Amino acid sequence: MRAEIISIGTEILLADIQDTNSRFIASNLPALGIDLYYMHQIGDNLGRLQELIATAMDRSDLVLCTGGLGPTEDDITREAIAAAVGEEPTIVPELEANLRAFFKRRGYPMPEKNVKQATVIPSGEAIPNPRGTAPGWWVEKDGTILVAMPGPPAEMTGMWDNEVAPRLRERSTGTIIVSRTLKTIGIGEGTVDDTVGPLLTSTNPTIGVYAKRDGVHLRVTAKANTKAEASALIQPAEDRIRELFGSAVWGADDDTLQASVGALLKQQGLTIAVMESCTGGLLASTLTDVPGSSEYFKGGLVTYSEATKRQYGVPAHVIEQYGVVSEETAAAMATAVRSELGADIGVGVTGVAGPDPHGGQPVGTTIIALESPAGTASANYVFAQTREVIKARAVTTALLLVRRAALGELSP
């Protein structure tokens, strides 16, 4: 079943609100065996909406609309659907009675313009909306299903869960889609692509490669009649990916890098402490985003000045000789914080977050050093970006080094 989603409301086009309804609906379609081909956001314009609905009904099996079911003149979804299918909305006495009762319960008389919320077209029927005044519409015409739901997220999700999803589950072909995301780090997108090579031509499961802030993700997606069958299709591809990328695969689905690194540290019985300059505390904050991180996180020192670095054990002569943004200073920071806080692993981060060059190094220079009983590691790169992105990338790189240390991949 091919679907498209239409979110209706000029406030979306004016960027007054983010359209979150589309993503909610989209996230629920794969498990129903429905393929989503398009999402659209359109304003409260009768002609354009009518045309888009007609096009969508013509090319898709299922059209899911949200918004524009209110009582005001701006709310034109019912009119647009009626025009698209060439029918006239008429008042349904039962709906009108429900509507009047709804207002009565709230202690208001019903404004007369609300009566349009009690209309429906011959090809359609109303979908109950216990959370608001606007019933939805379920329309079937020439083999296409069109569903119109209200825009307020609480009303829409309630109607989806209680009415729309159950009916679609009965109607859809039975083929469902299950996805599994494997997350790698330390390998570029192009290299991942080249390495998975022939797997990319597979049609079931399909494999997609996506560059993300925490590394490159591979998404394996299978279609099958049951969840178990889909999982059976995914498993060999997952095994092959794990074989190809080995320990570069750090997690799956909703795992975060910090949680994965934290679990490794806990498993190995290792503790960690960090001394940060350019990341300004973001590495410590990210490590402690993990519930239970107090078991392995000994503490963090944000040494934003040379004086503070010296205060916590970075030798003045190292800073003088090599500069504050240098491999040597980063290594001395790792050594110092490890000793200062009595941790197994010490990490030092120094660099230039911008906006101006510092210590003779350009903006984006990041130097990370790690010291542990099993050996040392470091990373050194220039990534000229915004301050926020420079910091985030430094944290990801630091976590990558910590991961290697916890995996025992370092040599002394």
CB of 199 to its own copies, least distance (A): 12
Closer residue to its own copies, CB minimum distance, 216 or 405: 216
| Residues 341, 298 contacting (CB under 8 angstroms) | yes
Of 361, 354, 366, 353, residue with least CA distance to 394:
366
* Sign of the C-alpha dihedral computed for residues 385, 387, 391 and 396 taken in this order: negative
CB of 318 to its own copies, least distance (A): 18
Closer residue to its own copies, CB minimum distance, 26 or 92: 26
CB of 123 to its own copies, least distance (A): 26
CB of 55 to its own copies, least distance (A): 9
Closer residue to its own copies, CB minimum distance, 248 or 374: 248
Compute how many other C-beta atoms are within 10 angstroms of the C-beta atom of residue 132. 18
Q: How far apart are CA 270 and CA 128, in angstroms?
A: 56
CB of 264 to its own copies, least distance (A): 18
Closer residue to its own copies, CB minimum distance, 382 or 407: 382
Closer residue to its own copies, CB minimum distance, 189 or 255: 189
Closer residue to its own copies, CB minimum distance, 349 or 374: 349
CB of 409 to its own copies, least distance (A): 20
Longest dimension (CA), the chain: 88
- C-alpha of 78 from chain center: 33
CB of 132 to its own copies, least distance (A): 9
Closer residue to its own copies, CB minimum distance, 299 or 375: 299
Counted residue by residue, the chain has a size of 412
